[in-house]
């Protein structure tokens, strides 16, 4: 017979030998057997360890600090949960003292009879060089304190399946592999402070399934760290890296982060971080930076931070984070000297700049810097005695250039002007501006005050409404071709409040450019002598052109000219009696035109015109050709709708030829052509109509609105006026 105690020992041995799976059940039973007032059993699905008891307070208290960064209970418990043996009233944790003879290791103080007991192993002699294999014999080791020994290698701890706390501070470990801890799924607290760690492989801590929550790597020798070992993708309490030599961050495996799960405090105090890291290179999208700042509060206290332009774009985020966390409030600048010992969050963001050296194309003697707060790169060469405009400038975009107070005499084009939005050239000796410059789309602001500008090129009109140019007070030569300057000046004043006082030298007089038209509008009808000369020139021109068979064009021009002349002298000539004011000639088969014509007719009739609309006004029974002849003869003016299908029928040919014949013989008759299909003159067969289009004596249908109606009416009325004079 086997007695009861033997069975118990066998059971215990069995449990010792057969690993973790069996334990899970027994832990639970232990947790359940005892009640732990003030705690609840905490086991979220992302955490393997089922030893953990979380204070009830975590379920109740809203911890404001992180309340919008994630689950409160989780963030509270990763920080405050404890293994149940630590809070149990009964002693569930036995300390095993590891001892050695020359030949073998043994445990002192093992009490094999206590089934419910877990072990903490300690070794305090200080000469331990490696983890002894004997640890694998006991499957109930949950804590190890091998602090202050000489361990270099920890690759063989993988048998400690339910290890909760590993204290290896003050040892000689120099690197960590990402396979070492992966197997320790219960490991929650890892203390590797005061070792000689220089390198940690990527993805060493962010493994799942696992339970890691507190990592201490203080006072090691790391110069860089991979971001996968900081932005651990699950909830943890903290990772401390105080007192290393970290200045660089790496992302060896080009991971991408989205901060969708997890977070925890990262303490990088007392390192050598000086620059704001290049986030995109580290796989951190800038647009989620804000959520990152809240999920991973980072402390970089006592780092030699260079408060420069790299912080410029993020200062707003950092200031916001500082409202909620201590960390960013104590970012203290080491550089530049001007900002030394200042808190980053107190600095005016305009001061977060990066100087650009001559190697990076800052012109000699100038002051160049990048200023993200104003989205610009300043190139300041003010008062540097330059005689020419520098030929190179920094390669960045958005240059804001100050070349004022120099001796520059010409403003030539350089390619960097395409990257410039503002240039100040005031107080130089500039006489000429390359007209090409006015066409640069990006260049929105040009200051040319206090220079010696002699001319303003018409290209200045290329500067659109949001572009501003100030010439200040200048004196230039003008001609009557510069009448555009009037409205341009007015526009600059109205849009930008830029007052350019431009003095014009014209016809031996000095006037303000804003009143140039007062001089220029009197030019044409000055002396009859000029008029005669003009006519002579014209007639020579006429005969020349006649040879070139521009017969109809000339005819039209001459006629226009004659009418002007008649208009002036009110010559009395005779006209046949009339029945209609306007005869309308168009292709009645084109239904679109037909529709439109109706509005034209009603519009004109409203204005008192008598209209002949052939489809309407011709007698149904009459001879069509005869009626055409009569009514054309009975009308003063002709409205011709020139469409692509006009003149396609024979009747229309006759109609048009009759109109032309009457028009030609009587100076008072008028033809108004509407270019309905906006045909080009080359596409028009009929040479007379072609002449109208070529000379621009037509109205395009495209400006169809009241303006077109008004134009037509005006043109017809002029005829009528002449008529009245007779």
Ligand X SMILES: *[C@@H]1O[C@H](CO)[C@@H](O)[C@H](O)[C@H]1NC(C)=O
Measure the CA–CA gap between 326 and 298, rounded to whole angstroms.
9
Considering only residues 59 through 88, tell me which ones interact with ligand X, judged by CB under 6 A.
82-83, 86
Part in contact with ligand X (CB under 6 A); list of ranges 188-196, 333-341, 491-499, 632-640: 188-196
* Strand extents, DSSP E, 556-598: 580-585
Nearer to ligand X, 209 or 696 (CB): 209
Nearer to ligand X, 397 or 626 (CB): 397
Cβ distance 456 to 486 under 8 Å?
Answer: no
Measure the CA–CA gap between 381 and 187, rounded to whole angstroms.
62
Which residues, 6+ apart, have CB-to-CB distance to 714 below 8 Å?
A: none
Residue 434 interacting with ligand X (CB under 6 A): no
| Nearest distance, CB of residue 581 and ligand X, angstroms | 21
Residue 260 interacting with ligand X (CB under 6 A): yes
The structure tokens 């299908």 sit at: 645
| Nearest distance, CB of residue 682 and ligand X, angstroms | 31
Part in contact with ligand X (CB under 6 A); list of ranges 26-34, 200-208, 617-625, 642-650: 200-208
Closest by CA position to 168, among listed 184, 153, 185, 183: 153
Cα Rg, the chain, nearest whole Å: 47
Part in contact with ligand X (CB under 6 A); list of ranges 53-61, 96-104, 519-527, 697-705: 519-527
Tell the burial category of 351 from Cβ atoms under 10 Å away from its Cβ (0-12, 13-18, 19+): middle
Nearer to ligand X, 94 or 686 (CB): 94
| Residues 85-114: x where in contact with ligand X by CB under 6 A, - otherwise, as a string | -x----------------------------
Residue 50 interacting with ligand X (CB under 6 A): no
The structure tokens 């790391």 sit at: 222
What is the phi/psi pair of residue 593, to 5°?
-65, -40
Distances (CA, A) of 706 to 290, 581, 596, 600, 711: 57, 21, 13, 11, 8
Positive or negative, the CA dihedral 413, 416, 422, 425 is negative
Residue 572 interacting with ligand X (CB under 6 A): yes
Considering only residues 308 through 367, tell me which ones interact with ligand X, judged by CB under 6 A.
none
Cβ distance 438 to 457 under 8 Å?
Answer: yes
| Residues 216-255: x where in contact with ligand X by CB under 6 A, - otherwise, as a string | x------------------------------------x--
Which residues, 6+ apart, have CB-to-CB distance to 512 below 8 Å?
A: 501, 502, 503, 504
Residue 496 interacting with ligand X (CB under 6 A): no
| Nearest distance, CB of residue 232 and ligand X, angstroms | 12
Q: How many Cβ atoms from other residues are within 10 Å of residue 717's Cβ?
A: 16
Cβ distance 259 to 234 under 8 Å?
Answer: no
Q: How many Cβ atoms from other residues are within 10 Å of residue 540's Cβ?
A: 10
Residue-by-residue DSSP string for 400-446: EEE--SS---EE---GGGGGEEEEE--SS---EE-GGGGG-SS--EE
Nearer to ligand X, 203 or 590 (CB): 203
Positive or negative, the CA dihedral 99, 171, 199, 46 is positive
Residue 637 interacting with ligand X (CB under 6 A): no
Interface pick for ligand X out of 21, 32, 526, 592 (rule CB under 6 A): 526
Nearer to ligand X, 220 or 635 (CB): 220
Tell the burial category of 32 from Cβ atoms under 10 Å away from its Cβ (0-12, 13-18, 19+): exposed
Nearer to ligand X, 50 or 380 (CB): 380
| Nearest distance, CB of residue 236 and ligand X, angstroms | 12
Per residue, the 3-state secondary structure of 663-702, as one string, reads HHHCCCCEEEEEECCCCCHHHCCCHHHHHHHHCCCEEEHH
Query: If you ran DSSP here, which 8-state letter would residue 210 be given?
Result: B
| Nearest distance, CB of residue 360 and ligand X, angstroms | 18
Residue 382 interacting with ligand X (CB under 6 A): yes
Interface pick for ligand X out of 101, 357, 464, 527 (rule CB under 6 A): 527
Q: How many residues does the chain have?
A: 726
Residue 522 interacting with ligand X (CB under 6 A): yes
Part in contact with ligand X (CB under 6 A); list of ranges 377-385, 556-564, 633-641, 650-658: 377-385
* Total chain residues near ligand X (CB under 6 A): 43
Segment holding 191, helix H or strand E: strand 189-191
Per residue, the 3-state secondary structure of 90-126, as one string, reads CCCEEEEEEEECCCCEEEECCCCCCCCCEEEEECCCC
Interface pick for ligand X out of 265, 380, 637, 670 (rule CB under 6 A): 380
| Nearest distance, CB of residue 202 and ligand X, angstroms | 5
Measure the CA–CA gap between 160 and 139, rounded to whole angstroms.
7
| Nearest distance, CB of residue 280 and ligand X, angstroms | 16
Interface pick for ligand X out of 50, 167, 514, 675 (rule CB under 6 A): 167
Interface pick for ligand X out of 80, 178, 250, 630 (rule CB under 6 A): 178
Interface pick for ligand X out of 72, 171, 195, 426 (rule CB under 6 A): 426
| Residues 384-423: x where in contact with ligand X by CB under 6 A, - otherwise, as a string | ----------------x-x-x----------x--x-----
Query: If you ran DSSP here, which 8-state letter would residue 462 be given?
Result: G
Residue 447 interacting with ligand X (CB under 6 A): yes
Considering only residues 117 through 156, tell me which ones interact with ligand X, judged by CB under 6 A.
122, 124, 145, 147-148
Nearer to ligand X, 470 or 681 (CB): 470
| Nearest distance, CB of residue 684 and ligand X, angstroms | 37
Positions that interact with ligand X (CB under 6 A): 82-83, 86, 122, 124, 145, 147-148, 165, 167, 169-170, 178, 189, 191, 193, 201-203, 214, 216, 253, 258, 260, 378, 380, 382, 400, 402, 404, 415, 418, 424, 426, 439-441, 447, 522, 526-527, 570, 572
């Amino acid at each position: 017979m086997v007695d009861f105690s033997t069975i118990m020992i066998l059971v215990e041995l069995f449990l010792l030998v057969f690993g973790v799976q069996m334990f899970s059940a027994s832990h639970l039973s232990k947790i359940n057997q005892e009640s732990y007032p003030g705690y609840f059993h905490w086991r979220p699905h992302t955490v393997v360890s089922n030893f953990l008891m979380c204070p009830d307070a975590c379920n109740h208290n809203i911890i404001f600090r992180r309340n919008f960064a994630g689950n409160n209970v989780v963030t509270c418990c990763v920080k405050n949960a404890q293994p149940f043996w630590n809070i149990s009233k009964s002693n569930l944790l036995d300390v095993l003292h590891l001892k050695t003879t020359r030949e073998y290791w043994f445990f002192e103080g093992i009490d094999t009879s206590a089934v419910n007991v877990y072990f903490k192993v300690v070794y305090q002699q200080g000469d331990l060089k490696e983890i002894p294999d004997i640890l694998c014999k006991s499957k109930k080791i949950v804590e190890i304190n091998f602090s202050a020994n000489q361990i270099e290698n920890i690759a063989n701890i993988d048998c400690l399946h339910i290890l909760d706390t590993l204290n290896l501070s003050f040892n000689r470990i120099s690197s960590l592999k990402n396979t070492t801890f992966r197997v320790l799924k219960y490991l929650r607290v890892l203390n590797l402070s005061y070792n000689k760690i220089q390198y940690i492989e990527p993805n060493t801590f962010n493994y799942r399934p696992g339970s890691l929550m507190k990592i201490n790597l203080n006072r090691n020798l790391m110069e860089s760290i991979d971001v996968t070992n900081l932005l651990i993708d699950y909830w943890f309490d903290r990772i401390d890296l105080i007192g290393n030599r970290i200045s660089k961050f790496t992302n060896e495996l080009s991971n991408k982060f989205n901060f969708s799960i997890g977070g925890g405090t990262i303490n990088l105090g007392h390192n050598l971080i000086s620059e704001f890291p290049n986030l995109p290179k580290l796989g951190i999208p800038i647009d989620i930076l804000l959520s990152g700042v809240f999920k991973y509060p980072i402390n970089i206290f006592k780092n030699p931070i260079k408060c420069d332009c790299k912080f410029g774009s993020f200062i707003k985020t950092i200031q916001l984070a500082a409202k909620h966390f201590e960390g960013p409030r104590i970012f203290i600048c080491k550089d530049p000297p001007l900002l030394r010992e200042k808190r980053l969050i107190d600095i005016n963001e305009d001061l977060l700049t990066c100087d650009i050296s001559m190697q990076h194309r800052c012109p000699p003697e100038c002051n160049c810097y990048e200023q993200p707060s104003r989205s610009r790169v300043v190139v300041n060469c003010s008062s540097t005695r330059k005689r020419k405009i520098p030929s190179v400038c920094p390669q960045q975009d958005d240059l804001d250039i100050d070349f004022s107070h120099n001796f520059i005499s010409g403003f030539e084009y350089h390619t960097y002007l395409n990257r410039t939005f503002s240039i100040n050239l005031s107080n130089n000796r500039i006489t000429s501006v390359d007209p090409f410059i006015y066409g640069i789309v990006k260049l929105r602001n040009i200051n040319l005050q206090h220079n010696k500008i002699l001319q303003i090129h018409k290209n200045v009109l290329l500067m659109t409404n949001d572009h501003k140019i100030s010439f200040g007070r200048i004196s230039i030569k003008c001609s009557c071709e510069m009448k555009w300057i009037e409205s341009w000046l007015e526009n600059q004043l109205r849009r930008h409040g830029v007052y350019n006082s431009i003095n014009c030298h014209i016809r031996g007089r000095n006037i303000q450019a804003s009143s140039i038209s007062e001089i220029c509008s009197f030019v044409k009808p000055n002396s009859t002598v000029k008029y005669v000369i003009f006519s002579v020139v014209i007639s020579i021109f006429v005969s020349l052109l006649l040879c070139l068979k521009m017969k109809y064009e000339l005819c039209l021009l001459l006629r226009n000219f004659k009418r002007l002349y008649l208009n002036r002298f009110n010559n009395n000539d005779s006209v046949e009696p009339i029945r209609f004011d306007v005869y309308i000639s168009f292709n009645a088969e084109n239904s679109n035109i037909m529709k439109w014509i109706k509005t034209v007719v009603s519009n004109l009739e409203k204005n008192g015109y008598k209209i002949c609309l052939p489809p309407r006004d011709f007698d149904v029974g009459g001879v069509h050709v005869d009626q055409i002849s009569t009514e054309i003869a009975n009308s003063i003016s002709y409205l011709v709708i020139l469409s692509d299908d006009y003149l396609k029928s024979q009747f229309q040919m006759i109609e048009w030829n009759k109109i032309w014949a009457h028009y030609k013989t009587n100076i008072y008759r008028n033809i108004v052509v509407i270019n309905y299909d906006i045909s080009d003159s080359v596409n028009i067969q009929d040479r007379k109509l072609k002449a109208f289009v070529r000379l621009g004596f037509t109205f395009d249908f495209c400006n169809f609105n009241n303006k077109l109606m008004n134009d037509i009416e005006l043109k017809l009325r002029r005829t009528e006026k002449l008529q009245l004079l007779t």
